[in-house]
Structure 1
Amino acid sequence: MREKKRYIVFRIHSEQPVPYHSLKSAIIDSLLEFLGENDFAKAKPRLIKNLCNGKEGFLQTSPKWVDPCKFALALVHQVADQKIIIQTIKVAGTIKSGKLALIANKKFP
C-alpha cells in the first residue's frame, strides 16, 4: 500500500530571497540534528524544489512526523550568513491545497 504524504507549507522572513541549495542544506542539517539519523529516515523529508522561490516553500514528510519536522524548521535561524525566520503556514494533504493556503495568507498576512 502506498504511503501517505503531508506537505508543510512555510514562509521565510528574511531581507533577501534565500537560495534553494543553502536553504535545503540548512533545513536538512536542522532535521538531522533534531531527529537523528534513524528518525530522519523514518520521516522521509523532502524539500520540493520547483515550489521553493526563496520566500516560500513546501516540505514533504510522513504524517506521523509532521510536528517534529515543524519544530526542526523553527530551529533554523541562519542560512548563508543571513538571518531568517521560518513561519509554518499550513500542513496540507495535497500541493493544491497548500498553494491555496499561500494565496489566502498573502491576502491576509
Structure 2
Amino acid sequence: MIREKKRYVLVEVLSSGEVEINEVLRSLKKEFLNFLGEKDFGKAKLRVIQATNKFVIFRVSHRFVDELKVCLSLMREVNNKFINLAVIYVSGSLKKLRKVLKEKGWS
C-alpha cells in the first residue's frame, strides 16, 4: 500500500473580537464534515498540529488541500463574532512551515 502524502497548511486567524480557538476549530471541523461528507472527511485526515489565537497549523491529505481552503473561506462567523481564516502558506514539510512562522514572528 502506498503511503498517503500530506500537506501542512498555515492559517491566520483574524476576528472582530476575542474568539476561543477551540470554538473556531470545532466550527471548522463541522463545516468540513458537512462539505465533504463522512467518507471523504475520513480520507482527508484533517489534524490540528498547533493552534494559537493568531494562527493554526493543519495537516491534511494532499488531495484535500483545495477543499480545506474552500471551507476556510466559507467560515464567516463564530459565536456572533466575525472571523476570517486566511491561508498563509502550504508546505510539504513541517520544518519549512515553522521557518515561515519564525519569519512572521509568530513562533
- TM-score in same-fold range (> 0.5): yes
Describe how 1:43-58 pairs up with structure 2 within 5 A. Answer: 43-48=44-49, 51-58=50-57
**How large is the RMSD of aligned CA atoms in angstroms?**
1.7
1:16 offset after TM fit, Å? 4.0
- Aligned residue pair count: 104
The structure-2 alpha-carbon separation of the partners of 1:61 and 1:85, relative to structure 1 and needing over 3 Å to count, comes to same
Q: Deviations over 1:25-58 (max 9, x none)?
A: 111011011111111111111122xx21111011
User: What's the TM-score once normalised by structure 2's chain length?
Assistant: 0.84
Question: Letter of the aligned partner of 1:83 in structure 2?
Answer: F
Q: Which has the higher strand share?
A: 2
Q: Deviations over 1:71-102 (max 9, x none)?
A: 11111111233211010011111222112223
State the distance in 2 between where 1:79 and 1:26 align: 7
State the distance in 1 between where 2:24 and 2:45 align: 17
Determine helix, strand or coil for the equivalent of 2:37. helix
Say whether 1:14 aligns with 2:30: no
Determine helix, strand or coil for the equivalent of 2:64. helix
Q: 1:81 maps to which residue?
A: 80
* Structure 2 stretches lacking a partner, 5+ long: none
Question: Letter of the aligned partner of 1:101 in structure 2?
Answer: V
Determine helix, strand or coil for the equivalent of 2:11. strand
Query: Identical aligned pairs, as a percentage?
Result: 34
Q: 1:90 maps to which residue?
A: 89
Q: 2:62 maps to which residue?
A: 63
Question: Letter of the aligned partner of 2:12 in structure 1?
Answer: R
State the distance in 2 between where 1:99 and 1:80 align: 30
